[in-house]
Structure 1
Amino acid sequence: MKSLPARLPLGLKLLFTAFLAVMVPVYWVNYGPTNFLYFCDISLLLCLISLWTEKKLPASMAAVGILLPQVLWCLDFLGELFGVHLVGMTAYMFDPNRSLFLRGLSFFHGWLPFLLVFLVKRLGYDRRALWAWTGLAWALCLVAYFFLPPAGTVLPDPKIPVNINYVFGFDDAHPQTWLPAPVYLLAWMAGLFLVAYLPTHLVLRKWLAPRRATSALPAHSGGESEWGQREPAILSR
């Protein structure tokens, strides 16, 4: 029995793997292991899994989770570039204490969404992604809130991340003060679902929904019966 041909180019798999082979140790040394708990870094790992296994669920999860947030990242970067402060999530890209190479690796935020759209279009969209990603993202938020340094923490190495996944507000130097911290956390988790994950899921589900067979085929046209079995055509073409 012949094996099915790969649906994803080998060159793409190797190129993405090579990028991670460089990025992961560089990030580990500079930012520490907790940096890989950011949604975007988790999405990179899901993308790697999907590339090599050609399973649609990991790519679908990453797409649901970061397509809209990465748009915000790009807008914030452009704002900072032209002197307009939006939310400050890309301020580190302009930190002269970080090498250009280190900052340059973070430009994956700009091209990863396009790769995920390609993967989901090629492999299909898995509708389980909404709840699978939401559960994962909420778990990461809880870990960051209860176990990792909050916003405003001064660490010996300023590159080590605090306020991972913005569970204390968008300003890493100061936690938000307009809501009690636990209330903000719950509002943030709910907001991520309602504003980012659910709309992306609905768009991907509609855009990539499999076309249903119609009953408009003429009788005895060689189409499928209502039981899903192929009916023989009376007239050959």
Structure 2
Amino acid sequence: MGMAQQRIPLWVKVAYTLMVLIIIPVYWYTLGVTNFLWFSDIALILMVPALWWENRLLASTMAVGVLLLELHWVADFISGANLTQVALYMFTDQEPWYIKLLSGIFHFALPPVIILMLLKYGYDKRAYPLQILIALMVIPFTYLVTGPDKNINWVYGFAEQQTNLAPHIYLALLLAGAILLVYTPSHFILKRLFQTH
């Protein structure tokens, strides 16, 4: 697509890309490479090519996977982490100040960028099965390469490590929960709100 035909402003692409290029090395050094297995971090990174290629499917897939969760993070942060405490680390000494600063910028920037892509290009309904496929790979892989100390993608439990279920049963329920409570509602909401392709 030529420059004259681009519908996402260049400054948005550049600013978002610079943000990601700052976040990646800082997170990698401070939190470790496995931190990028969080679905929100996957979306953060994949929205860079989605923006530059103006790729509707990629943006739609990230919307199905994380948009509702990101909006929930923002609401939890604004409430002072009084909703479900997903943003509680922002109000404790759990992470260094610069990680909290970058995390705040990242979680506030990602939803409007995703929504901008959906407004410009519409929603691609192929995103729903694609996000399920991604989750089928990411959830068990996260369990295999990480530990309960970080509990990335909650593969070891929610508030604390769960010990009541066998790991494979818990992971299957986690995946089913993601599909039923996040991906499916997101798919139908996005189909209703945006032009569908």
The counterpart of 2:151, out of the listed 147, 159, 163, is: 163
Name the count of aligned residue pairs.
Answer: 195
- Residue 147 of structure 1 and its aligned partner are, at CA, apart by 2.5
Residue correspondence of structure 1 range 1-237 to structure 2 within 5 A: 5-79=5-79, 81=80, 84=82, 86-96=83-93, 98-107=95-104, 108-149=106-147, 151=148, 153=149, 162-171=150-159, 174-209=160-195
AA of the residue aligned to 1:199: P
Give TM-score, length-normalised by structure 2.
Answer: 0.89
Q: 1:193 to 1:210 in 2, by over 3 A?
A: closer
Q: Deviations over 1:188-230 (max 9, x none)?
A: 101101111111111212222359xxxxxxxxxxxxxxxxxxx
AA of the residue aligned to 2:109: W
Q: Measure the CA separation in 1 of the matches of 2:129 and 2:14.
A: 30
Judge conservation of contact 2:125–2:196 (CA < 8 Å) in 1: no
AA of the residue aligned to 1:147: V
Judge conservation of contact 1:56–1:124 (CA < 8 Å) in 2: yes
Secondary structure of the structure 1 residue equivalent to 2:93 = coil
Judge conservation of contact 1:88–1:170 (CA < 8 Å) in 2: no
Q: Measure the CA separation in 1 of the matches of 2:196 and 2:85.
A: 40
Q: Measure the CA separation in 1 of the matches of 2:97 and 2:29.
A: 16
Q: Deviations over 1:112-165 (max 9, x none)?
A: 11221111110221111011111112211010112321x2x4xxxxxxxx2110
Judge conservation of contact 1:87–1:170 (CA < 8 Å) in 2: no
Q: Deviations over 1:63-100 (max 9, x none)?
A: 01111112332343345x26x3x544323222325332
Secondary structure of the structure 1 residue equivalent to 2:5 = coil
Judge conservation of contact 1:74–1:110 (CA < 8 Å) in 2: yes
Q: Measure the CA separation in 1 of the matches of 2:195 and 2:134.
A: 24
Give TM-score, length-normalised by structure 1.
Answer: 0.75
Q: Measure the CA separation in 1 of the matches of 2:70 and 2:37.
A: 16
Residue identity over aligned pairs, in percent, reads 35
Judge conservation of contact 1:89–1:170 (CA < 8 Å) in 2: no
List structure 1 runs of 4+ shifted beyond 4 angstroms.
none
AA of the residue aligned to 1:127: K
RMSD: 2.1
- Structure 2: which 5+ residue stretches go unaligned? none
Q: 1:210 to 1:138 in 2, by over 3 A?
A: closer
AA of the residue aligned to 1:208: F
Secondary structure of the structure 2 residue equivalent to 1:106 = helix
Q: Measure the CA separation in 1 of the matches of 2:86 and 2:157.
A: 10
Q: Measure the CA separation in 2 of the matches of 1:36 and 1:210.
A: 30
